[in-house]
A and B are shown apart, each in its own frame.
Chain A
Amino acid sequence: MEQAVLSIKNLDIAYGAVTVVHDFNLEVHAGEFVSLLGPSGCGKTTILRTIAGFIGAASGEITLAGEEITKRPAEQRDVGIVFQNYALFPTMTAFENIAFSLRVEKRPNDEIEKRVTEIARASGIEEHLNKKPAEMSGGQQQRVAISRALITGTKVLLFDEPLSNLDAKVRVSMRQEIKRLQDHFGFTAFFVTHDQDEALAMSDRVVVLKAGKTMQIGDGRALYTKPANSFVCQFIGDANEVNGSLAAQLTENAVSDTIYIRPEDLLISTGQTRGLQAKVNHIEYLGALVRVECVSEGSSMLVSLFSKDCPPDLKTGDSVSLTVSKGAWHSFSEGGDNQ
């Protein structure tokens, strides 16, 4: 098998006596786009900063292109970082920002000129090279930040939630931009985010984290359709958590105590006695989709369906029956495995 570009083995990270990341393992292959996804405080940025060398590992091993770098100072690791706010030096032009690491290496001026111009042309920012960061748009700044990280031929780029400060529309175009640049330069990306849409849309594989522990590693489809545990099931997309007798009525089956059903897997019908009897509590019309919140025996359940499939006269307070297609639910053993 092809050797991993970035390999992390049994990594523990601690702040004082508190271990915040436990036994983290991951292999990232050349050209791969891997996202680290999890709620705030789960340790994803901590892992990224440990790979970059800003935080020391308590134990474990980090290998980059076959070389162990666990104890190496940040300035001697060959990883590029794109920061949350891009961290472009405000006193320098785009050109000087991109040229920074070449100047550190004391490269001759003509070589710097040539390499910066080349990478800027490829990133589409050639005409902005004389601008300071404050004079550039967010998209241009992002391209400068990526060019700056790549200029020395770095093959692995770490992205620390670079899209989190942007509004929804810009975020979508910027993530496409990152993917375009990855296709062009062929770098390996390690991307930290708390936004599941972003992670699923961009990544070859996603690592889901919770409280410093890996919950599941897989591609987006696998995470959604075959979640390894209740956390992943509820964190990736929506899931109704249904307990006890309600679960039995819904599935018309004897099932374990708690099951998880995606809103789109619940079927809604009127005038039927089959399935679970519920009342419509709230209807949200979202154009192509309709989301219906139903309540039964005090438990609330969300149903998502195409507008064209929704009974046209459905209204709040109506009595409905809820059913679920056979097998279209997830249940997990105590250990968390999907059954």
Chain B
Amino acid sequence: MTTQKTKSKIERAAFISALLLLLWFLVTFLVWPLIMTLSTAFFSGGEFRFSEITDDLSASKRVRGALFNTFWMTIATTITVGIVGLFQVAVLEYFHVKGRTLLKVGFAVPLVFGSIVAATGYKFTYGPIGVVTQVLHRFFPGLPSDWFIGGHGVLYAQTFLLTSFYYLFLRAAMRRVDYSTIEAARSMGASEATILRRVVLPVILPTVFAVMLLTIYTSTVSFAVPELIGGRDFNMISQIILTLNSINRPDMAAFLALFLGLFIMTMILLMQWVEARGSYIGGAKTPVPIELKRVKNKFANFVLHAVSYLLLFIYVLPVFLVISFSFAPASEIGTQTFPSTFTLSNYITVLSGGSAFEPFFNSARMGLLAVLTGLAATLFAVPIMVKHKNWMTRLMDLGFFLPWVVPSVLLAIGLIVTFDEANPLVANTVLLGTFLILPIGYVIHILPLMVRFLRAAFIGIDPSYEEAARSMGASGPYRFRRVIFPLVAPTALLAGGYTFNELLTEYPLSAFLYNVNNKPLSIAILESDKSYNPEQAAITLVYAVLVMSFSMIVVMSAERLSLGKGPKTNNL
């Protein structure tokens, strides 16, 4: 009995220490940096100044231009992504199109081909040394080689890169449409158009709105795509914040970052409101899965197939070229439309260590460190948040939720203005310029996603498992280790894989916080893009292929876990 008491005392002390550590982490690296950003943006020498900074910002032509670009780009992207995304979902989940599996794989490309890797791929395909540009030159010799660079190129790339939200969420929403309601409408004489408008659309509309808001959100903070494809004259807001920070105007950078943050928060709150208001719960306990509709009009059917396969071509082309040329001799990059020989030498250069391997190793190391820290924090905190409802868990909830509404750029500015000098919260060290500053930012960045994943997993656990273990004498840590953890482990692994994959090519935080000790993959890719060295370009292609391969593993596991089998076709 006494040993049991001592044991539970030790457990309690360990628990409280872990809780304090978590609170310190959140306060030091999230709350305090945000407060410091506010103070940097609005106060100078203890004085409040608002008009001065807004005057400075509005006087700058580049700032005005970036704001305008961000504004129109976001509206245009939302429209074009909406059109392509809705078409994809209709092709995959509503109409019968031949080669559905192939299209499904093709349309899934943005899931594994995103961020800076995709931007590189699009530039490699359509940019000055791109294959498409080479082919076009044969027909239009006068075409400038940088024809793709600029706002229109960014819009083109974003149109096909941001459809992943539609692919993921709207398809899931379509799966919730109860097919018996469509059959009921048909039996009552409704036309196909009426069925789509009156039966299907109301079910998926809340998701359509949510996905559109997600597009707005992503386009607003877009960073890597305009950096690579926008060229010198097309800047968006995140780029301007980076520039302002580098020209030693942290106040202006902080102000713009806060402005961006406020906009993003509004978008997210709006999104939650739309989701909550429109969440549709069908009457059927077991909805009948939807059956794909054959298009009877031959011309319409031809157009449907033609557009589907054109889209497939657009999606697959950059990936195909990146993979092909990653196996080509470096000398053929930018000179050939297809490699004449294949070699593994680029892969050997990257994987055999040395300077080409270093950014990859850095990103993997920082990603792993961040993911393990994030998992430790969330695996500890989420069960507490799920089980207990009190002021402390609400505070923790808020702490984990906050990074979701704080754009990376704002977080980065916060970390810079907080840790650019010795800070008592971190034992009076200067964190900026050290290896750790970037992984710390990564941890904060991935926490919300991990919490969302794990919260669902923990809520799904039958409480009687834990009670059963308790009744058999198991202590808290033992119950967690033997009963609860094995149940959430697949989700934790998936969350870890997902976030690691994201961090491998993370750009916004990296752009602000990297230094000589931790130069990550995304920065290396960007630098090689600017170097015009074929050897460097070849290495970048290898990076892209390696990142894509890893993403593919993660996405395929996720797809298996969440969506299950696809619908069958109606034979009528």
Contact = CB atoms under 8 A, between A and B. Distances in A.
Interface of A: 52-54, 73-77, 79-81, 83-85, 87, 89-92, 100-101, 103-105, 148-149, 152
11 contacts: A52-B467, A76-B4, A83-B468, A84-B464, A85-B462, A85-B464, A87-B462, A87-B464, A101-B472, A101-B473, A152-B472
Contact of A90 (B4, B470, B471, B487): B487
B474 A80 contact: no
B467 A81 contact: yes
**Residue with the greatest number of chain B CB neighbours at <10 A, chosen from A77, A84, A101:** A101
Contact of B472 (A84, A90, A148): A148
A105 B474 CA distance: 9
B467 A104 contact: no
A84 B469 CA distance: 15
Interface string B463-495: 011011111111100100011001100000000
**Residue with the greatest number of chain B CB neighbours at <10 A, chosen from A79, A89, A92:** A89
A148 B483 CA distance: 15
A99 to B, nearest CB: 10
Given A73-B470, A75-B473, 17 more contacts: A75-B471, A76-B4, A80-B471, A81-B467, A81-B468, A83-B464, A87-B468, A89-B482, A90-B487, A91-B487, A100-B474, A101-B472, A104-B472, A104-B475, A148-B468, A148-B472, A149-B471
A75 B475 contact: yes
**Residue with the greatest number of chain A CB neighbours at <10 A, chosen from B473, B474, B483, B487:** B473
A100 B482 contact: yes
A75 B474 contact: yes
Given A87-B465, A89-B483, A81 B478 contact: no
A89 B486 CA distance: 10
Nearest to A90: B487
A242 B23 CA distance: 68
A91 B482 CA distance: 9
Interface in B429-474: 462, 464-465, 467-474
Contact of B471 (A52, A85, A105): A52
Contacts of A91: 483, 486-487
Interface of B: 4, 462, 464-465, 467-475, 478, 482-483, 486-487
B464 A104 contact: no
Contacts of A149: 471-472
B472 A77 contact: no
A54 B474 contact: no
B467 A54 contact: yes
A180 B152 CA distance: 78
B471 A81 contact: yes
A156 to B, nearest CB: 11
Contacts of B487: 90-91
B469 to A, nearest CB: 7
A83 B463 CA distance: 11
Contact of A104 (B462, B478, B486): B478
B458 to A, nearest CB: 15
A87 B483 CA distance: 11
Nearest to B487: A91
Contacts of B478: 104
Contacts of B465: 87, 89
Nearest to B467: A54
Given A89-B465, A91-B487, A100 B472 contact: yes
A105 B486 CA distance: 20
A149 B468 CA distance: 9
Nearest to A91: B486
Contacts of B475: 75, 104
Nearest to B485: A91
Nearest to B475: A75
A161 to B, nearest CB: 12
A77 B474 CA distance: 11
B425 to A, nearest CB: 38
A87 B469 CA distance: 9
A1 B467 CA distance: 34
B7 to A, nearest CB: 11
A80 B4 CA distance: 20
Contact of B467 (A73, A74, A76): A74
Contacts of A77: 471
A105 B464 CA distance: 21
A89 B465 CA distance: 6
